[in-house]
Amino acid sequence: MLPSVDEVLRDGRVLHLLAGHPRQVVVRAVRKALAEERRAILDGVLPEGKVEDKTFFLDVITRKTLENVDRTVRHKLRPVINATGVVLHTNLGRAPFSEGAREAVNSVISGYSNLELDLDTGKRGSRYAPLEPLLVSLTGAEAALVVNNNAAAVLLALSTLARGREVIVSRGQLVEIGGSFRVPEVMAQSGARLVEVGTTNKTYPDDYRQAINQNTALLLHVHTSNYRIIGFTRETSVAELVELGRAFSLPVMSDLGSGFLVDLNRYGLPGEPTVQEVVGAGADVVTFSGDKLLGGPQAGIIVGKSRYIEAMKKNPLTRAIRIDKMTVAALEATLREYLDENHAIRTVPVLQMLTAGPEQLKEKALQLAGILSESVKEKASIYVEEDSSAVGGGAMPTAVLPTFVVAVCPVQMSAGDLQEALRRGEPAVIGRVREERLLLDVRTVSGGQFQMIAKALAKALDKTGEGAAV
Ligand SMILES: *Cc1c(COP(=O)(O)O)cnc(C)c1O
């Protein structure tokens, strides 16, 4: 005998839910639970003698209602605290915005904007108008276009320049990026034919030269952004491809992946080519992400020679992968930070975090450890250790950034259970576990989050005995 929706809604635990959630959400959760139980009755899978037991059903339905509501809440997109030290964590939303980018987005979303209106002429304008001059002046390219993400940028470029024709790529550069971006598959999608040359570890200019024929449309260089081939290697550089391209009147494209505008060598990070360098080497088309090392919103930035960029702008695909006003606002603001490199290092969070020095990180870790020691009482021991963080986001795979972590060694639970409890907490705190200790890397944590971490940690340590309870 099933209870009615109203009867379930009068249950104390459900009333409690109603205080914190919209009535419709709770009612839907009750109906779903009732439907499941009705099915169980029809299927005859209930425990012996329970079919007539209303109290039994009320209890089951209430419990399922709580679970259903919890599930809808759990899947909510919300801020988390990234204590992994991985600066560009794709699962955690990649780059946090600079203050300027946040303000710019806020100012255009709360009302109307001149997104496609030229305020000087009163005529229709281009949404790319604020971005193109900035990208041109920052990269030295002739023209620029921005689409939804770099995968889309590569797709658009290939489809525009090489549809139905051949694109030559080195076997050592057939990259797969997380989330199923694979160069051969993007190539197939674009309608271009992939011609692989060379071997995994060595590809010479001659390999490209021999593959060139009247069907060749493009020479493609893909930056091996998330892996390195080391040892007995030979890569054909963009500059060498440009030389070949000139000889055969073929355009050269470089997919940089995580293009950046600042030479991070100066800050002790591995030397990777900047967008300016690749443009300077003569590449006709260069593509890179907005939310990797650039530290802006998700976007695919395309810079290069006007004739190719203009052709891409006319491709109908561009309309399907265009960016919205929030992206325009955030990217414009982020690019403005780069007009002064020293300014960008201070204001773009990704650059701040990447260039944070050991001394600064040590001080931060000691401060966090002090706060945590007070809040965990006897439930864990806390200490500060030297460690290293990764760049992440498929960038600088071999870079090891010296850092300091706060290690939490719980007394009554495993480090894995503590990690899970913190992840399921509010706000969620994401750390890593090593040798029975939970490590909180301060590189990706801001001082303003210390108190929140302390509270979350105290709460998570209280979960002892409940196992992996919610
Ligand atoms: C990351 C990356 C992409 C995909 O960029 P998204 O902005 O994530 O779509 C493409 N190519 C390379 C080489 C990359 O590193």
Give the DSSP H or E segment for 289. strand 285-289
105 and 326 Cβ atoms separated by less than 8 Å: yes
Per-residue model confidence as pLDDT tens digits over 298-346: 999 999 999 999 999 999 999 999 999 999 999 999 999 999 999 999 9
Q: Please give the number of the atom of ligand 1 that sits closest to the Cα of 154.
A: 10
The pLDDT score that the predictor gives to residue 417 is: 96
How do 252-257 and 176-177 pair as beta strands?
unpaired
Protein residue with its CA nearest to atom 5 in ligand 1 = 150
For a pocket test of ligand 1, which of 88, 146, 177, 187 has the largest count of ligand atoms closer than 8 A to its C-beta?
A: 177
User: pLDDT value at position 177?
Assistant: 77
Q: Which atom of ligand 1 is nearest to the CA of 299?
A: 7
- Residue 273 pLDDT: 87
The answer on pLDDT for 164 being more than 90 is yes
- Look at 276 and 465; give whichever has higher pLDDT: 276
Of 147, 228, 255, the one to substitute when testing ligand 1's pocket (max ligand atoms within 8 A of C-beta) is 255
List, by residue range, all CATH 3.40.640.10 domains of the chain: 99-347
CA distance linking residue 150 with residue 288, whole number of Å: 6
Report the atom number in ligand 1 closest to the C-alpha of 395. 15
Q: What does the block give as tokens for 415?
A: 């480090």
Provide mean pLDDT across the span 146-167.
97
Q: What is the residue with the minimal CA distance to atom 1 of ligand 1?
A: 257
Q: Where are the alpha helices (DSSP H) in 377-462?
A: 415-423, 450-461
Contacts with 432 (C-beta within 8 Å, 6 or more apart), sequence order: 84, 85, 419, 438, 439, 441
Q: What 8-state DSSP symbol labels residue 234?
A: B
Tokens of residue 34, six digits = 């009732």
State in Å: Cα 152 to ligand 1 middle: 9
> How many whole angstroms separate alpha carbon 428 and alpha carbon 81?
6
pLDDT (tens digit per residue) in 165-216: 999 999 999 988 776 788 889 999 999 999 999 999 999 999 999 999 999 9
Ligand 1 centroid–CA 359 distance in Å is 33
Q: Indicate the pLDDT class of residue 150, thresholds 50, 70 and 90.
A: very high
Q: Which residues pair with 438 in a beta bridge?
A: 408, 433
State the distance from the centre of ligand 1 to the C-alpha of 150, rounded, in angstroms: 5
In this structure, the residue with its CA closest to atom 11 of ligand 1 is: 257
Q: What is the mean pLDDT of residues 361-374?
A: 97
pLDDT in tens, 17-73: 999 999 999 999 999 999 999 998 888 887 777 777 888 889 999 999 999 998 888
225 in contact with ligand 1, CB cutoff 6 A: yes
Check if 149 has its Cβ closer than 6 Å to any atom of ligand 1. yes
Q: How far is the CA of 43 from the centre of ligand 1 (A)?
A: 49
The whole-angstrom separation of Cα 351 and Cα 342 is 10
Residue with tokens 């009554």: 412
Report the separation in Å between the CA atom of 365 and the middle of ligand 1, taken as the mean of its atom positions. Answer: 32
User: Could you tell me the pLDDT band of residue 464, with boundaries at 50, 70 and 90?
Assistant: low
Q: The domain 99-347: what is its CATH number? A: 3.40.640.10
Instruction: Give residue 73's identity as a one-letter amino acid code.
Output: V
CATH number of 80-90+354-468: 3.90.1150.110
- Ligand 1 centroid distance, CA of 82 (Å): 22
Which residue owns the Cα nearest ligand 1 atom 15? 257
List of residues 6+ apart from 331 with CB closer than 8 A: 101, 131, 146, 290, 296, 297, 299, 301, 323
Residue whose CA is at the smallest distance from ligand 1 atom 7: 150
Determine which residue's CA is closest to atom 3 belonging to ligand 1. Answer: 257
382, β-bridge pairs = 408
Q: Hunting for tokens 């009732």 — which residue is that?
A: 34
Q: Which two tokens stand for residue 211?
A: 């593959």
Mutate to test the pocket of ligand 1, among 170, 181, 292 (most ligand atoms within 8 A of CB): 181
Residue 469 has pLDDT above 70, yes or no: no
What φ, ψ does residue 359 adopt, rounded to 5°? -60, -45
